Amino acid sequence: MAAAMSETSGHLVEVKHLSVEFHTRNGVVPAVRDVSWHIDRGETLAILGESGSGKSVSSSALMGLIDIPPGRITSGEVLYCGEDLLKATPERQREINGSRIAMVFQDTLAALNPVYPIGWQVAETFRTHGVARAEANAKALELLERVGLPNAAARFRDYPHQFSGGQRQRIMIAMAIALNPDLLIADEPTTALDVTVQARILGLLKELQRERGMGLLMITHDLGIVAGMADRVVIMNAGRIVEAGTVKQVFESPQHPYTRSLLDAIPGRHGFPDIAERAAPAEPLLRVEELTKEYVTPAGLFRPARPPVRALGGVSFTLAQGETLGIVGESGSGKSTLVRTLIGLEEATSGDAFFRGRSLIDPTAETRDLAQRQIQMVFQDPTASLNPRMSVFEIVSEPWAIHRDALPRAQWEQRVGDLLEEVGLKREHAGRHPHQFSGGQRQRIAIARALALKPDIIICDEAVSSLDVSVQAQVIALLKALKDEFGLSYLFIAHDLPVVRSFADRVLVMHKGMIVEQGPTREIFENPQHDYTRELLNADPLLSHHAA
């Protein structure tokens, strides 16, 4: 032990030349190769990478969370205060986990055990490391109050599903900081959260770090978080570290081409495009008037009717030919209800919407047929929205199978090939199935399907949210090109403000089912009028970083 100590340079945690591979059915896949980094007390290090870059692997190795097999650590050391944890016994690793090194995970609904009360789960960290039950419960409650869980005492026995995403992340954080660890690892802690909630959680992490002097390791794909939180950054691509340095160095003079491409993909990196305002035509393509949707729970056998829930409260706007309208808002703001009502998946309670002057809310058979051809959707998760058992040809040609008169059968093959080329795929991809493509390629397939009937309007419901930042930039570029080529109009729903800023002509901001503000993109972003809009803009790490 003494010998080991003397070899080290005294970092809190140091990863040296770590290589890990995974043995899968398709052969050996290297997860990380020759990865080295270190972190000290009180410091924030960010490991930045896209999905599949191996950014989480070294911290998993640190906590002994790599499953062996299929994983295999082929070389390297993982030192905690000089002690190589790769050689530690399982008992020693359990002693360190949760007490000296702790971790906060991404998907809190899955990462908290659904069948135990949250108080029990926070107290478990104490109990596991030898604190008696009653004391553990008292300390857990204290912690939950510290991390700002509202009404903590009364909600001690509630279950994870009864909390919001932000509250669950606070519970996870309480669980992790319980024993004052030296190092807190946060693995994509805010990915699933709304931007204002994200800002509060990141603030809490910073605050706790200052209070307790722990090292903070942020694993993320979000450049904004790196810019706003970290002292130093390690950038990973395909299992290797491509660049490391202080955040300032890396952001201002990136050395590696991958880092440069990543930074270039940030929307608004080279300023936002100036969007010329144009005179609205007499009859807009889409006109929405006072659209309202209430959800009613009727009386049950033993239960009175509940008061109706207003998901959409009198929404009015227009969409002109060739225009991109960004719809911004957090979860629960009514964005998806608006879309579902427009395309007829939900029945409106009152109000109306007109496509080329015909009502979509009470459509004639003819209008419904027209709307189904001319208004198309691209959904958030291409893995879920493409039928895994259908080939790309079947997926893209399905609209013609439904609308029989759209295209004669003989031309389908030719046209599917054309569409695939149009969205940047290859003709021969038609015979493959969705699982053979990457996330970005799948979203291209979804776009090809949406284009099949030559629509006027494409509704993109968080269509780029699940994509890595460089892929996101490519898909946005594709949407822009298609818009110019076919004169498309977009309803572009997103919670990512920089993306909206770089893409939309006009923006409307939704909050609690109402439109709180709408106007040209530039005006909304540079001179927001409503408090909520301002809060939203300030919460975005990238936008507020640019402003600073």
Partner 1 sequence: MNGYVTKRMLHSLISMMGLIILVFFLSRLTGNPSDLYLPIDTPADVRAAFSQAHGFDDPMIVQFGHFLANLVHLDFGSSMRLERPALNLVLEAFPVSLTLAVLAMALALVIAIVAGSLAARSPNGVLDRFINVISLCGASVPNFWLALVSVLVFAVWMRWLPTSGMGGPEYWVLPVIVLAVRPCGLLAQVVRGSMISALSSAYVKTARAKGVSQRVIVFVHALRNAMLPIITVAGDQASGMINGAVVVEVIFGLPGIGRLMMESIQYRDFAVIQAGVILTACAIFLLNIAIDLAYALLDPRIKHA
Which is nearer to partner 1, 108 or 489 (by Cβ)?
Answer: 108
DSSP string, 110-174: HHS-TTS-HHHHHHHHHHHTT--HHHHHHHHHHHHHHTT-TTHHHHTT--GGGS-HHHHHHHHHH
Which is nearer to partner 1, 193 or 537 (by Cβ)?
Answer: 193
Among 301, 410, 547, 548, binds partner 1 (CB under 8 A): 301
Among 20, 79, 112, 338, binds partner 1 (CB under 8 A): 112
Query: 118-128 and 133-146 are packed helices; what angle lies between their axes, rounded to 10 degrees?
Result: 120
Six-digit token pair at 492? 């572009």
CA dist 527 and 50 (Å) reads: 33
CA dist 426 and 430 (Å) reads: 8
Q: Report the 10 Å Cβ neighbour count for 523.
A: 15
Among 27, 271, 298, 300, binds partner 1 (CB under 8 A): 300
Q: How far is the CB of 140 from partner 1 (least distance, A)?
A: 12
Site residues for partner 1, window 45-64 (CB under 8 A)? 63-64
Is there binding between residue 228 and partner 1 (CB under 8 A)? no
Which is nearer to partner 1, 47 or 266 (by Cβ)?
Answer: 47
Which is nearer to partner 1, 15 or 407 (by Cβ)?
Answer: 15
Q: Which of 254, 274, 270 is nearest to 262 (CA)?
A: 254
The dihedral region occupied by 64, where left means phi > 0, alpha psi between -120 and 50, and beta the remainder, is left
Q: How far is the CB of 128 from partner 1 (least distance, A)?
A: 5
Site residues for partner 1, window 114-173 (CB under 8 A)? 114-116, 124-125, 128-129, 159, 161, 172
Cβ atoms of 172 and 111 within 8 Å: the answer is yes
Cβ atoms of 250 and 227 within 8 Å: the answer is no
Among 24, 299, 302, 547, binds partner 1 (CB under 8 A): 302
CA dist 206 and 48 (Å) reads: 18
Q: How far is the CB of 155 from partner 1 (least distance, A)?
A: 13
Which is nearer to partner 1, 118 or 291 (by Cβ)?
Answer: 118
Q: Residues with Cβ < 8 Å from 164, sequence gap 6 or more?
A: 197
Site residues for partner 1, window 175-214 (CB under 8 A)? 175
CA dist 295 and 21 (Å) reads: 51
Which is nearer to partner 1, 162 or 411 (by Cβ)?
Answer: 162
Q: How far is the CB of 50 from partner 1 (least distance, A)?
A: 21
Is there binding between residue 303 and partner 1 (CB under 8 A)? yes
Question: What CA–CA distances, in Å, run from 35 to 56, 67, 481?
Answer: 12, 19, 39
Site residues for partner 1, window 72-111 (CB under 8 A)? 90, 93-99, 102-103, 105, 107, 110-111
Q: How far is the CB of 34 from partner 1 (least distance, A)?
A: 25
Applying CB under 8 A, which residues contact partner 1? 63-65, 90, 93-99, 102-103, 105, 107, 110-116, 124-125, 128-129, 159, 161, 172, 175, 300-303
